Amino acid sequence: MLEYRRAATFFVFLFALGTCLSWGKEVYVGVDTGATGHGVLRSNGDGCFVLLPKHVVKDPGSISVVGVRGVKVAASLKTKDNDADLAVVVLTGKTSLCSADSAFASTESIDHLLDRSPSVMVRTVTENGTQLQQTVHVRQITDQTIVFSPDGGDTLSQGMSGSVLVARGQIIGMMTGVEKGKGVAYRADYVEAFWRRMQPQEESCRTSCSVELSELASVRTFERTQDNGLTRRTSSDFVYRLPENWPFPQYVHIWKDRLDVHNDLVSVPPNISVSGLSFSADVSDRAADVFVNVIGYDLSGHSTDTITYKNKVWSINLSGGQDPSSMSLRIKDISLP
């Protein structure tokens, strides 16, 4: 998924988007290992970052960012996703390159835009800052990716990784590569969720840290069924990876149980319950380094428990619906000063 070229330094070239409705400022990426690609600038507080495909920066090298009017700023790799082909580069020098940015299109906007027209644009920034656009046609959509093919006799190249997919002026995806002549892009909402996970959290969480489970990476889902002829009991575990810098083990597990009664005479509705929540460094079924009681969740749609972890007292609040993707998790350090 890479295009190789000889270069002495890793460069990121910025192209200003002017008044165009987009997520931020697009960049051209060159690496001294020979890899090339693209990325997008994003700010967080006083920090300026480049979000791009992980494979473009998989090998270490000297990094600099060159923006409009030849502005050059030093940079370094901040983090990369263990599962997805995404990474974040942070600009370490003083710069105004991230003076403005905006968000990727929302899930609803992406679906609406693609319903209206399957033809979209791939927008690419060249090494000299020229912006190129190419018409493509969407062939497949999942909850994470968009697959598309070029128009007519056009082709897609491997060095286009990190280019943006645009529909009616809104960015709906970030290209990660080419497979069998077709382009593959992460959906914009999937990339946005990755960016939110990578943003630094307050170290103490004293003012509370919170996250929507729908924004977290779903790691694994377990399901075990026991059927004795009279009843069928199904136990499930939904495993998500927490944001970086949260004070608990890396994974949160949502436990659910379902009881179905076999009765040919009377229809008995299933009994579905959220039976537990746990934090663990392990992704195995219902791993629990730290267990949280969620009694009352099924009745009220929220539960709060108090636990002690690493000599601190924490309030853990779970709220939302029965589907884990609709749940919110909030933690707060309530230790005495």
Contacts of 244 (CB under 8 A, 6+ apart): 79, 197, 198, 200, 201
pLDDT for 23 equals 38
pLDDT for 51 equals 86
3-state secondary structure string across the chain: CCEECCCCCEEEEEECCCCCCCCCCEEEEECCCCEEEEEEEEEECCEEEEEECHHHHCCCCCEEEECHHHCEEEEEEEEECCCCCCEEEEECCCCCCCCCCCCCCCHHHHHHHHHHCCEEEEEEECCCCCEEEEEEEEEEECCCEEEEEECCCCCCCHHHCCCEEEECCEEEEEEEEEECCEEEEEEHHHHHHHHHHHCCCCCCCCCCEEEEHHHCEEEEEEEEEEECCCEEEEEEEEEEECCCCCCCCCEEEEEEEEEEECCCCCCCCCEEEEEEEEEECCCCCCCCCEEECCCCHHHHCEEEEEEEECCEEEEEEEECCCCHHHCEEEEEECCCC
Distance from the first to the final alpha carbon of the chain: 52
List domains and CATH numbers for the chain. 3-91 (2.40.10), 107-191 (2.40.10.10), 201-333 (no CATH)
Residue found under tokens 């005479």: 265
Q: Which residues face 332 on adjacent strands? A: 315
Q: Which of 78, 83, 69 is nearest to 14 (CA)?
A: 69
Contacts of 61 (CB under 8 A, 6+ apart): 9, 10, 31, 32, 33
pLDDT for 11 equals 34
pLDDT for 22 equals 41
What is the distance of C-alpha 185 from the center of its chain? 13
Neighbours of 251 (CB within 10 A): 22
Q: What is the dihedral of CA 223, 226, 229, 231, to 10 degrees?
A: -70
CB of 28 within 8 A of CB of 160?
no
CB of 162 within 8 A of CB of 175?
yes
pLDDT for 69 equals 56
Q: What is the Cα–Cα distance from 227 to 225, expressed in whole angstroms?
A: 7
pLDDT for 192 equals 87
pLDDT for 6 equals 32
Q: What is the Cα–Cα distance from 117 to 78, expressed in whole angstroms?
A: 37
pLDDT for 8 equals 30
Residue found under tokens 């990755």: 194
Which residue ranges in the chain fall short of pLDDT 70? 1-24, 30-32, 34, 45-46, 60, 63-72, 93-97, 99-103, 129, 199-207, 266, 336-337
Q: Which of 33, 39, 34 is nearest to 125 (CA)?
A: 39
